[in-house]
Structure 1
């Protein structure tokens, strides 16, 4: 049977960065890996960020765009069926940051997938600089992503002090308690070692972390309605303009509650990946991109966002 690992995490937590490192480790161990990327926007930005992993032992499949739950499950099921025929021994699923993981478990239990796949590791990425408050829907997503995790890994732990890491863990536990989850995380249980310091033994431990069974009280809402995305193609703005104007999206209530902005822009030196949350913005050179910016959040006002982006 093909082992499936699920890598979860709320918007902007750093799932794709972790996935790149984990997939590279598995390929180095001789595994044949397929990555299934599920992005919320109409353009699958995250899939572009793992293109350099493509090779004889690593392929990528994508599911793009928000849609209703039933349609999304059919798309995921169809992808997994086609992938089962192609000789992979490991599949890594990176869902969007507003994905209800129950949907994933439901699909994996379906016939014939239950005869071809087995659940391996569930890895939850939690931002060590997690905001102090989120909406009830966002807290539910956060809790559901961590409830069944065999390992919960802090991202950006190198930027957070002990008090901030403790606050993030307390927030996670509050979110779990709010949905009457049977699980809680004790001090020291979350992995805080910065990823850049990880060696093969750290990834080997993650590769055997497995998953946990924990019950949650379901919050019935359609995440594709509660959360929205606005995407902008060929804005005609420079990298400098976007870096200067994107932070205002997170502070202007007229834009809605913006949770993340990500995309690509081309400057005189080539393509740049932009990734922003309320805590800051990063800009990194990449080999290939597409001129697009996707903004994800709650109650978004696209016209106001575009005004802000154009200054």
Structure 2
């Protein structure tokens, strides 16, 4: 029997950090675990982050440019069915399915009923909500409320960055969903003795409600050819856009003037969420092939042409090199 754990939550809530901790725990206990990552955009940044930290996984599957709960659901079913049908020595015991932050997981809780997935069990739905998000989002964001309402376990992430906000979020969630198990986490790690994410009982899906949605959100993906200016990147992402709203940004880059680290990697991962820009080193992959340089910006009503120009302007080609100009 293949156990599948859904990990969901808003954009930038810290799902990939939690996923990495879950995978580490499974590997430490000697289990065979795989991960299926769904991302909004044509480059799987989260897949690169997971692969760099957990190269010993049974398998990694990336689904991009769609939502796992609707346009890519058939692909999810196919990947899970393929894994479930593998010989015993190659078949994973458990799968972590990380949805995009724009996904309503409601349509994924019936995976066990799909005829093609007779050999799987849905082990739970872990919803990750950032303590740094405005408290009003639980009432204002219909999607967030559905993600939280469907959880068998809720993590209030980044609790160490703002303990008072983490406590306020926990209190608000307990009031809205009295039967939920809710834990404050730090760097994706829950306190010892808490509920096992793999032993969840899913509540009934909350009733549909009106209100704003992210149906009009669009992702812009740009691949860089050269290192970028670190100060210019920070300035670009921390100032308000001229038009629209940036919901999330992330990517992999090399920085002008920053030498390779001791492991030989010159790659850095950047994440923009809740108004914070975080930069972290990206380890050299076991394969030796460096991660592609790319940025993904997800937003509402953004001027994509302007964003492409601004992202491209961050590049600092080495002396004598030229920028590559893609032809339409």
* 1:262 equivalenced with 2:264 (yes/no): no
Contact kept in structure 1, 2:141 and 2:212, CA below 8 Å: no
| 1:307 Cα deviation from its structure 2 partner | 4.8
TM-score normalised by structure 2 residue count: 0.79
* 1:298 equivalenced with 2:286 (yes/no): no
| 1:289 Cα deviation from its structure 2 partner | 2.2
Aligned CA RMSD, in angstroms, stands at 2.9
Correspondence for 1:285 among 278, 281, 295: 281
Q: CA separation of 1:107/1:196 partners in 2, compared to 1, >3 Å: closer, same or farther? A: closer
Aligned length: 293
How is 1:87-236 mapped onto 2 (pairs within 5 angstroms)?
A: 87-113=91-117, 115-134=118-137, 139-162=141-164, 164-169=165-170, 183-184=177-178, 190-195=182-187, 201-202=192-193, 205-219=195-209, 225-234=215-224, 236=226
| 1:67 Cα deviation from its structure 2 partner | 6.2
Partners of 1:109 and 1:259 in 2: how far apart? 34
Contact kept in structure 1, 2:21 and 2:188, CA below 8 Å: no
How is 1:10-159 mapped onto 2 (pairs within 5 angstroms)?
A: 10-51=10-51, 52-55=53-56, 57-66=57-66, 70-86=70-86, 87-113=91-117, 115-134=118-137, 139-159=141-161
* Cα offsets for 1:210-234 (capped at 9, x unmatched): 1331331224899774221111111
| 1:54 Cα deviation from its structure 2 partner | 2.3
* More helix per residue: 1
| 1:37 Cα deviation from its structure 2 partner | 0.7
* 1:240 equivalenced with 2:231 (yes/no): yes
Larger radius of gyration: 2
Partners of 2:130 and 2:68 in 1: how far apart? 27
Q: CA separation of 1:225/1:272 partners in 2, compared to 1, >3 Å: closer, same or farther? A: same
Partners of 1:255 and 1:135 in 2: how far apart? 25
Partners of 1:218 and 1:112 in 2: how far apart? 28
Contact kept in structure 2, 1:151 and 1:209, CA below 8 Å: no
Q: CA separation of 1:301/1:165 partners in 2, compared to 1, >3 Å: closer, same or farther? A: same
| 1:3 Cα deviation from its structure 2 partner | 0.8
* Cα offsets for 1:185-241 (capped at 9, x unmatched): 78xx52114247657x457x3345413313312248997742211111117533332
Contact kept in structure 2, 1:232 and 1:294, CA below 8 Å: yes
| 1:94 Cα deviation from its structure 2 partner | 0.4
For structure 2, which runs of at least 5 residues remain unmatched after alignment? 261-265, 285-289, 315-328
| 1:101 Cα deviation from its structure 2 partner | 0.2
| 1:80 Cα deviation from its structure 2 partner | 1.3
Where 1:4 maps in the other structure, the secondary structure is strand
Contact kept in structure 1, 2:126 and 2:197, CA below 8 Å: no
